[in-house]
Structures are given as C-alpha cells and as structure tokens.
A and B are shown apart, each in its own frame.
Chain A
Amino acid sequence: MSIITRVALRKSYGVCNPMNPACSQVYNSALKSTGSAQQQMDEFWAKNKETNRPMSPHLTIYKPQLTSMLSITHRATGMMLAGATCAFAAATVIPGAAECALQTANYLHGSMLGSLVLFDIKMCLAWPLTFHVCNGVRHLIWDSASGLSLSSVYTTGWAVLLSSLVLAALFTLVMQ
C-alpha cells in the first residue's frame, strides 16, 4: 500500500470502517477486493438476488412522461407491425381473403358513416407504421450519438408524434 494511502487512513484507527480490523465482522461480507470489476459487480448482484428482497414500486408510481410513453409506443407498434406482416403472410394462403376484404370495403364505401369507418380502419394500420418509422429515424439519430440532450429528446419526441399523425392522415386521404 502506498504511503499516501497510509497517511490518508491514519486517522481512522478508532473508527468503524473497512480498514479497521476490529470491525471486520460488519464489513467482511461487503467488500470483495479480488477479481475484476465486472466479477465484483456480478457477485454483488448474485448475492442480492439470493436474499429475495422485495422490489420497490416502479411502473405503478412513475409519472408517465413523453420519453417513456413514446418508447413503449415504439415497442408496441413494432410488435403490432410484426404481427400484421405475419397475418398478411398467412392471409395469402387463406382462400378468399382478398375477396372478403374487397367486399367489406365496397360495402363501407356506400354510406357516409361507412366511409368514416373505412378511414378509421386505414388510420389504424397507417399510424402505427408511420409512428414506428418516424421514431425509428429518431433512434437512428441517437445511434449516431447526436440529439441526446434532454431538450432535444423532448423536441424530437413532439416532432415524431406530430409528423406521424400528419403522414398517416396523408397516406389515408391522398391514396386514391
């Protein structure tokens, strides 16, 4: 041990601290001075996991914020889109699926209320896609290590929300 360390700890002989051998009982389970840093951290986690301590409340108490809500929506829309592509692939082999969709669309086109329902159905598929695309672009921007400050995160977050709604409405209304 270097001289500096000894000088620094000279005043601690009477105090209960890790370096004081009289208090080794209190501290010997806390200190792991062997092994790499990663091993020491893993041992800490493993030891605490064994004791089965109760977890503090997290999801139930944390205030919903733009950051967390956009993140979970990104994940949820991603899962929806993955399910939609699998459903689309499955529908290609189900006989009569295309005719069924065409029939429903023609039926809904007839009335004013039906057109609104059709618009809603199309928005329900377009908005998850545009939201996931816009937020995906935001993630790629973060991956290039820019826009990581809290104010940028909030600005880009609102931009993503607005642009996803605008693009979805654009797709649904413009495509004729």
Chain B
Amino acid sequence: MNFAALRVVRCMKVQSMVAGHRVPQVVTSCIRQPIQTINTSSAHNEISSQESFELRHQVSSMKKNNTNWVMYRAGSVGLLAAVAGCFICPGNVIVDFTTVTLIVHHNYFGIKSVLADYMPLFFKDGLTNIVMIAWLIISIVTLGLLYAFNYNNIGFSKAVNNFFKL
C-alpha cells in the first residue's frame, strides 16, 4: 500500500444553475484537498503553498489561534467581578490592583480594535501603526500612574466611591 499517496479526501456538494434553464442540478464532486501542500512544481501550478481548505475566519477561530479572544473575554468577566468588588469592599488592596490592571487591559484591546476598524479607512498604514504604538505607550503610562495612585494614595476604589459621594 502506498502510504505516500494517502491524503485527506474532502467531498463538496456543488450546486450549479444552468443558464437559461432554471432547474438547479445538484452535482457532487469529490475534491482531494491535502491539508498542507508543498509547492514542488511551480511552473504550471498557480496554487500557492499557503493554500488551505479552511477560510480565513475558520482558521482564526480554531482553538490554537483563538487564545487572544478567550483571554479578552476572561478579562471582561473578571472586570465585572472587580468593579462589583470596588463598590462592595472599597479600599481593599487586592480589589484595587485587580480592578486597575483589568481596566487598563480591557481599555487597551478595546481602543486597539476601534483604531483597527476606523484608522485604515481614512489614513495610511504607516500612520495607523504609529497611533497603535502611541496607544500602547499611553496605556502603559496609565497603568503605571494608577499603580502609583494605588500605592501612594487612597486607592482606586476609594477614589471612585468618594467621587460618587461628593
């Protein structure tokens, strides 16, 4: 048995509409799609070596490519708990530092996605990259300043409580 010839076979159902005749004909064709191809004969082969069966959004939602998305959602759930803790037990050191860290984490990725959505529509890619880096620097500075506030001053949760009690 030739093991080299064994490949993953995927079957696709192709529905073709014949022009002029409105009856759809269902055609089943079995297309051999190897998961990974090594482009050995590039002379007449137009398919690039990065060809994959899955579409881009399917690839990005596979488990190993998905960790960023999961981490962001985990951070959001943690932030809910932290903000609740801010009002339930103000002045707690752990609550202060978790709230501040999770807030900056959430803000950073949130604004990053806003920039990624809107900047390329109006500005060149170079400017978009500069603004992304600037936002990273601002985020880090914000985190540092809030940590200093937590350490030296009354703390984030107490400050928020005092603001509402004004």
Report A's interface with B, CB cutoff 8 A: 2, 4-5, 8-9, 11-12, 15-17, 34-39, 41, 75, 78-79, 81-82, 85-86, 88-90, 92-93, 101-102, 105, 118, 122, 125-126, 133, 136-137, 140, 143, 171-172, 175-176
Contact = CB atoms under 8 A, between A and B. Distances in A.
B26 to A, nearest CB: 9
Contacts of B110: 78-79, 82
B142 A86 contact: yes
B93 to A, nearest CB: 17
Nearest to B73: A143
A89 B29 contact: no
A175 B55 contact: no
Contact of A17 (B18, B53, B159): B18
B8 interface: no
Interface of B: 16, 18-21, 25, 27-29, 46-48, 51-56, 73, 76-77, 80, 83, 103-104, 107, 110-111, 114, 138, 141-142, 145-146, 148-149, 153, 159, 161, 163-166
A43 to B, nearest CB: 11
19 contacts: A2-B28, A4-B25, A5-B27, A8-B27, A9-B18, A11-B20, A12-B18, A17-B18, A36-B53, A39-B48, A78-B114, A81-B107, A85-B103, A86-B107, A88-B159, A92-B149, A137-B80, A175-B161, A175-B165
A125 B163 CA distance: 10
A172 B141 CA distance: 30
A78 to B, nearest CB: 5
Given A9-B18, A36-B52, A78-B111, 9 more contacts: A8-B18, A8-B25, A12-B21, A35-B47, A82-B107, A85-B146, A101-B163, A133-B83, A140-B77
Contact of A12 (B19, B27, B51, B141): B19
Given A12-B19, A82-B111, A85-B142, A101 B73 contact: no
A5 B110 CA distance: 50
A38 B27 contact: no
A91 to B, nearest CB: 9
3 tightest Cβ-Cβ pairs between the two chains A and B: A8-B25, A17-B19, A89-B145
A38 B55 contact: yes
Contact of A133 (B51, B80, B163): B80
Given A34-B47, A133-B83, A89 B141 contact: yes
Given A2-B29, A35-B47, A82-B107, A92 B148 contact: yes
Most buried by A among B28, B47, B83, B142: B142
